[in-house]
Amino acid sequence: MAGYFAHIYADLSTMDPVSDSLKANTLRRMSIKSSVSAAALLTALPLVACQRAADRRISEEEHPTAKERMMTTGLLLVLAVLSSSVAACSPQSDTRTAKVASLDAAFERDTLVVVTNDGNRLDFDVYLAMDFEQQRRGLMFVRDLPERTGMLFVYEEDAIHSMWMKNTYISLDIVFARSDGSVSSVIRDTEPQSLSSLQSIEPVAFVLELNAGVTRRYNIGNKSRLIWSPPAD
């Protein structure tokens, strides 16, 4: 791409009428090399335009030549490409733990510690499903869930709890845990929008829903433990 830009500015420097001093100034300002950067080009483009305007008076009766029209179009294309490149290179925020806008109004959030099968302690950002309406909604209609974000269903007493994937558009891993936080079982890679019942194998007090694949990547299984305390009133 650097060669393409160099070609454009080489053409600009030969367009008549452009003084020798303008040519030298333009080429010196541009410092076009094979390693030319987008930032340097963006800085130089306005300089070229200002130099040309100062060196040449265009009367109202003059009409642009075909070459001038072609070069103007080329410059606009260069600006569009460089602007896109700058936007694409902007720093991105860490999305492992982040908010899910569609859930913020209905659920409180807290930090859940998961002790994995091999003893590692991991922090997860979880939405708390504490009451019936929240548990009925769950992660319905959510289309994107960060890597270390999930939903923790908290029940008042241990029981056989059953989940389903109605109106749930992303595949999940479902972790069932006893009242002491020890993991009873894990169901992995659920089928989105399935109406099949997905239930615990014994009475549990917690159900943790995470992105499909997370339990496998972090080695979360029946030797793991959830550590969480209800928020103080």
Judge contact between 86 and 42, C-beta under 8 A.
yes
Tell me the pLDDT tens digit for each residue of 105-149.
899 999 999 999 999 999 999 999 999 999 999 999 999 999 999
DSSP symbol at 5: H
The DSSP element (H or E) to which 12 belongs, if any, is: helix 2-14
Q: In one letter, which amino acid is 60?
A: E
Q: Taking 60 as the threshold, does the pLDDT of residue 2 lie above it?
A: no
10 Å Cβ neighbour count for 214? 23
- pLDDT (0 to 100) of residue 59: 45
Tell me the pLDDT tens digit for each residue of 159-168.
999 999 999 9
Q: How far apart are CA 152 and CA 228, in angstroms?
A: 10
Query: Residue 77: which pLDDT band, with cuts at 50, 70 and 90?
Result: low
Q: How far apart are CA 6 and CA 27, in angstroms?
A: 10
Judge contact between 109 and 137, C-beta under 8 A.
no
